[in-house]
Amino acid sequence: MVRGRGVAFLPPFREAVLSLRAHAAKLVARPVGRLQGRTRAPGDKSISHRALMFGALALGETTISGLLEGEDVLATAAALRALGAEVTHERDTSPVSGGAWRVRGFGVGGAREPADVLELGNSGTSARLLAGILASHPFTSVMTGDASLRRRPMRRVIEPLTRMGARFEGRDGGRLPLAIVGTDEMVPIEYRLPVASAQVKSAILLAGLNTAGETSVIEPEATRDHTERMMRHFGAEVRVAPAEDGGKRITVVGWPELLGRDIVVPGDPSSAAFAVVAAAIRPGSDVTVENVGVNPLRAGLYQTLRDMGADIAFENEREVGGEPVADLRVKGGGLKGVEVPAERAPSMIDEYPILAIAAACAKGTTRMLGLAELRAKESDRLASVSAGLSANGVEHEMGAADLVVHGTGAPPAGGGLVATQLDHRIAMSFLVLGLAAREPVAIDDGSPIETSFPGFARLMNGLGARIGADIEAA
């Protein structure tokens, strides 16, 4: 266990302020009394990636509204253009929608060889899902990304796609830059996921679209099902059935003719989580986040917050583009510590950093189990969260795959400078902590936030937060 015990680990906030002067990308969050108002989260990142990809794999035109215009999704759009899709953006004056995106696709198996290396920035979703598309085309392509993405493991997609017939050449551990030698003679497989990963599942199913016969993935634990839902929406035959030895089998029938469709992207539940938790930990707050996707396979955080005593109501529940959607109304109050079971991790794997902030403000001990997958994200998120909690006076213990946070029910000390490790969720989570701590909290680099949540500080400040680079005021 690695233990963090309060102010013994707490760097003086004055030193953080002096350091902040030299780097404009650094941000500070200052304590506030309460948050109030209505807002709307940006488009769901997972669905945005998939909408662009399926639009490219379809014949005809796909129109997408509500697309997340963060750097990760824009990297996917650029890669699809390099493969031959026409991707255009028609802006409007709406601060919510941003205008329609139109994709004229090349069809299943119709991508062209890219003229240059595909630069994917920080987007692991782009890299892993595109690997499935590229593997099933008879040309060689190369993917790379920023320093964070080049550290992330790709072997988990390389192994099943190699079994299907593609070849890969990459750095030690299968890391980017990665050359993919694809083939149009892929072999269908049945593959049992060794770890719960919607990205690996999606890569195999995407390759299966351009493979004769039936390709199946068996998942022992349910993961987000946006790929299966969208495949059906575009016209593919997808079957889901119980697996003989537990879990479920997802099967796609190869060589469908996908046709362009209209897609409405709901608000991202992972992005909405920051405003939801910020309101839940500030007594007297009353915040509504509109148009949030509440797919049961993505809603683990909200179930956990309710277990902790949070006042969260799902209002105006409806279905948009095949996905369940609701407006989330949150009223602030006291939270209590709980145990979060390991089996809940697949439904909230991206939300553990912000859950750790809620736990730091709760009364009692919160145990989060089954977190090994956090070590393979944009950063080693488990270690990054632990370091951030230590820097801000929060007592906790970190294990190989678990995190135990001891909240007192009082505002945490704060006052720390948090190293984000180029991880957008670490950055936003500790800015939320700064709203509830006794002293301001600084992050060393706010620029990664743009990968998934453009305008994060502006949205939060519209609810009453105090986030910015105003060092003197901090």
Active site residues: 350
User: If we measure between CA atoms, which residue out of 141, 101, 104, 103 comes closest to residue 120?
Assistant: 141
d(C-alpha 170, C-alpha 253), whole Å: 30
β-pairing verdict for 214-219 and 248-253: antiparallel
The alpha carbon torsion through 252, 219, 266, 305 (nearest 10 deg) reads: 170
- Omega of the bond leading into 242 within 30 degrees of 0 (cis): no
Q: Which residues pair with 242 in a beta bridge?
A: 248
Strand order, beta sheet including 27-29: 417-418, 441-443, 27-29, 467-468
Handedness of CA 227, 233, 237, 241 (dihedral sign): positive
**Which H or E run includes 441?**
strand 441-443
Grouping H, G, I as helix, E, B as strand and the rest as coil, residue 376 is helix
User: If we measure between CA atoms, which residue out of 383, 455, 394 comes closest to residue 423?
Assistant: 383
The tokens 């404009």 sit on which residue? Answer: 24
d(C-alpha 210, C-alpha 206), whole Å: 8
Distances (CA, A) of 379 to 49, 84, 130, 350, 428: 21, 32, 21, 12, 14
Q: What is the CA radius of gyration of the chain?
A: 22
